Structure 1
Amino acid sequence: GPNLHIVSSLSDILNVEPEYEKAVENALSEKINSFILKALADIEIAISKLKSKGRGRMSFIPLDSRIANESSDTPAGIIGRAVDFVRVDAEFAGIAKNLIKNIFIVIDLKTALELYSTFNIQHSTVFVTLDGEIVEPSGAVIGGEGRGVLKRKRELREIEELIGQKTDSISMLQEDINRLQQELSDKESGIRDIENAVVNAEKEMSLSKFTSANYQEEKDRIDRKLAYLSIEVEEIVREKESLKNMIIEKEKAINAGESEKSAIEKDMADLLEE
């Protein structure tokens, strides 16, 4: 059959401030798992496929949604409109506005019920608490725990960002190790040169080219330089080992992040299948 043009999912495009995630998600209810399709024609195809396969209910939103009117009145006592706490890319702004423009976030259920009873309710006005309880225009009150889809999506974004940072750090540390390796190689080469100088000095001494005093002075100077270089080499080796350990720790953090990311992605897949 015809191909669907799936643009994204609603939970992927909504970037909600963490403390308001539960409120926004619960207010959107099952629509949080909506798929965004390119046009209304795609939705017809999607619904047709859904029926033919006997799948459960799913929600679809066209990318070119018409923007409905927004409630002009803002009741006193609210924390804010949901739209104030949500960020989306420009291409999805219309979708987000349509879905959450008349959702008002309040601190608790008592406040929501008071506002419901006193505010001039419009047909699309929804009050939702920070804990996710919803008071609908009909007066229906919905409570209970949501699925935490937005929270998981945010955690996924944060983990991906952290993995990126750790990967960059490892690259920088590896550059430091390469630099230290070169320094170490140079120092070791210097030590070999000094050791050769000692051997040559001893040869020259045996040929009586140095007086005993001159030889001792030269040998002391070479020994001091050798000791200094040896200390430098030890410091470089320690720094190199430290950097290697840092890389190991960062790689562990990346692996942990990848595992957590996989777990969250599995949770998301399970949620979307429910």
Structure 2
Amino acid sequence: MILAAGLGTRLRPHTLVRPKPLFPVLDRPLLLLIVEQLRRAGCDFVVVNAHHLKEQIAAALGGQPNLVVQLEEKELGIGGGMRLAREHFGHEPLLVVNGDIVHNIDYRPIMAQHRVEGNDATLVLHDHPRYNNVLVGPAGNIREFGPAGEQGRLAFTGLQVINPDLLELIPPDRFYHSIDWYRQLIAAGHRVRALVIKDHFWSDMGTPVDYLQLHAALLTGQAPGFGSKPISPSAPFFYGRDLSLGRDLTLRHWAVVGSNAVLGDRVSLTRCVVWDGVEIPAGTTAIDTIFSSSP
């Protein structure tokens, strides 16, 4: 299951144009890249939940085999969204992935460890000080969730494997935080365990700065294995198809120009991402900017 129903408030005004899971990553919607990752890992059935600009998500995934888009008319939270999707799953372990992260983590060892240990929930964690809020015991059991930054805590990557039967503990048809569900499982003695990983690429696409830094990493070869060919650090520029480029175009440091974009004469871009179909007027100078719509 891919969680794609969030509002993306920290990325406004760009999320007023598109839902965050459809933000282009090197000119391709992130959500499609995640689906491809899951297919390569052997997932033969995928559920994607959607709420904010849900029609766009449904349209982007139209025609995908063995994929269901769960349209949510109201905010349900992660827990509520998973509970609503319960009807689509049997009793086998369920892989759940956040729809706003870019990573090169292999899903298969995660599923394998979950099965071998007989866990009820396996949360994939790593050391990421900005988000470190999960306390793990010496034996790998998750003890609690608390304020980020406290010594000895780790961060949730947005990847987890769960026993879908336990979703029935979540009240149906209402907003519910996933952390409340984890705490309920821990209190009841269920096996909620951590899988701690290292030496991987991971990026949370939570803010405009995060989104720009992601592209800087992709363009300079710091994110191997996420469906893009290596790009030389000496030429960190990415162009889509069917562009219209004016005279005296200047690109500095790195830049992404999406398909069908139109750049006027004397445009200067430094560390910018231009989305597909956007028109940039002649004489525009921009630094560290996301062009999600035409000015």
TM-score interval (norm. to shorter)? under 0.3
Q: Pick the structure with more helix per residue.
A: 1
Taking structure 2 as the reference length, the TM-score comes to 0.21
Higher relative contact order (CA 8 A, sep 6+): 1
